[in-house]
Amino acid sequence: MGIRSFVCSPSALLLACTALAAPSHGQNRALFLDGSPGGVDVPGSPSLDVQTAFTLEGWHKFESGGPIVLRKDGFDRGPYWLQATSVWTDVLVNWWHNHQAGSSCNQGNSTAVPGPWTHVAASFDGTTVNLYRNGVLVNSCALQQPESQPSIPVHIGWGDSVYGGLSYQRGWIDEVRIWNVARTQQQIVEAMSTTIDSALAPSYPGLVACWNFEGNANDSTGVNNGAAFGTAVFLAAHDIPYPDCNGNGMLDALEISAGTGADCDGDGRLDSCQIAADATLDLNSNAVLDECECLSSIYCIGAPNSVGPGARGDYTGTVSVGLNNLTLLCTGLPPSTNGLFYFGPSQAQVAFGNGYRCVSGSVVRTGIVQASPTGNASKAVNNGVFPFAGLISPGSTWNFQFWYRNVAAGGAGFNLSDGLSVRFCP
């Protein structure tokens, strides 16, 4: 691989992992595929027939085509696959002819768009698989154990099955590894930026194959050598990025895992680096991504009604999508009057009825609510139920208002509360 090495004691805290050597740039080669028939073929063997536990991992720079890091598959059987694009990771086991069996776990949107070098890994302990991107846990799922198929080959960068057909990609692949143990997050992070060559391979228990592609498809363990075919070539690669965006000598994934670096949106990138690259992600300049902040404010003060200075918007609970315990409130209403909450993406202040319409854009109504005898109305915001489903998400901002009957006030016979603006957080 030719990139920075790290040495960590297996029993050490994540923070103890520090860079010990400078990067050896310019030496690394990687497998390059141009989208036409080509890839690496590794003959089947008992050591590659992992079942009760495994870890599949590799570096991948996807451009187009079949998003395949590795597949153990044949004409009508696929014991295990690891696939990825720039924004998606997927592991499958027991994918048979015509998709008749199997289970899978994935994260992200499978849209095939080009992206940067990304490290992907799937660690399976016999019942549960954990998916990692750049060392950050992104999903966990129950998974079947792969069926025993020792004769089926492993394909790197391409696939061969009845269900998926022959599949090739354009992109780069490097440091592909198969283990017969479930590697921990710390173990994955500690080794993902280290070249495991033939000298180091014996010191890694459970490693059954490691292909570094330094000019060939040989396995560092010496057991599962592969062969390139078609247009597959081994080229000098742009350096696989050392994931230390703030340059403090510690892997970003380690900082995030240890809690010393914030990643509030869970994308594997330090929030501080995202903000440094794009100041519009933190408009209030408080060093927190705006999409992760729970913020609310009152705007567009409502007009007086028949019982006082006017109806006021408020809420109880939190504006966290994850907690999902937000309840909208409106106080200062005529006793037992009927009305409804509604919301939209934009703000306004336009004379309407006996008050002001404070919400604009594509407005969504929530249904009739009757105020209590003391003039209070409420509505729970369940982000999984109509009309909120699909709209309330982390980083989204919505503006709420209450419309109500106010016949005693004369005029139009209805009034509106002030406006409540909410930016939801995770």
Q: Do residues 279 and 342 both lie within one domain?
A: no
**Does residue 256 form part of some domain?**
no
Q: Do residues 220 and 139 both lie within one domain?
A: yes
Q: Do residues 269 and 231 both lie within one domain?
A: no
Is the pLDDT assigned to residue 26 strictly greater than 50?
no
> Which band of pLDDT confidence, cut at 50, 70 and 90, is reported for residue 418?
very high
Q: Name the residue with higher pLDDT: 242 or 173.
A: 173
Q: Do residues 136 and 273 both lie within one domain?
A: no
Under a CB-based contact definition with an 8 Å cutoff, are residues 415 and 305 in contact? yes
Is the pLDDT assigned to residue 98 strictly greater than 60?
no
Q: Name the residue with higher pLDDT: 135 or 1.
A: 135
Is the pLDDT assigned to residue 87 strictly greater than 50?
yes
How many CB atoms are closer than 10 A to CB 258? 15
Q: Name the residue with higher pLDDT: 73 or 161.
A: 73
Summarised one tens digit per residue, pLDDT across range 389-410 is: 889 988 889 999 999 999 888 8
Name the average pLDDT for the chain: 86
Summarised one tens digit per residue, pLDDT across range 310-343 is: 999 999 999 988 899 999 999 999 999 999 999 9
Q: Do residues 368 and 313 both lie within one domain?
A: yes
Angstrom CA distances, 355 to 25, 267, 372, 376, 413, stand at 67, 44, 21, 18, 10
Specify the DSSP class assigned to residue 164: T
Q: Do residues 326 and 364 both lie within one domain?
A: yes
Give the pLDDT score at 216: 96
Q: Angle 192-194-196 (CA atoms, 0-180°, nearest 5)?
A: 105
**Does residue 252 form part of some domain?**
no
**Does residue 360 form part of some domain?**
yes
> What is the percentage of the chain residues whose pLDDT exceeds 90?
60
Q: What is the CATH number of the domain that holds 368?
A: 2.60.40
Domain count of the fold of the chain:
3
Q: Do residues 276 and 313 both lie within one domain?
A: no
Q: Do residues 13 and 34 both lie within one domain?
A: yes
User: Residue 62 corresponds to which tokens in the numbers above?
Assistant: 């996807």
Radius of gyration for the alpha carbons in the chain, expressed in angstroms and rounded: 28
Q: Name the residue with higher pLDDT: 165 or 320.
A: 320
Q: Do residues 212 and 267 both lie within one domain?
A: no
Q: Angle 373-378-381 (CA atoms, 0-180°, nearest 5)?
A: 170
Q: Do residues 329 and 413 both lie within one domain?
A: yes
Give the pLDDT score at 273: 85
Under a CB-based contact definition with an 8 Å cutoff, are residues 387 and 334 in contact? no
**Does residue 242 form part of some domain?**
no
**Does residue 232 form part of some domain?**
yes
Q: Do residues 408 and 363 both lie within one domain?
A: yes
Task: Report the pLDDT averaged over residues 121-149.
Answer: 94
**Does residue 248 form part of some domain?**
no
Domain extent for 285? 262-292
Is the pLDDT assigned to residue 202 strictly greater than 90?
yes
Specify the DSSP class assigned to residue 219: B
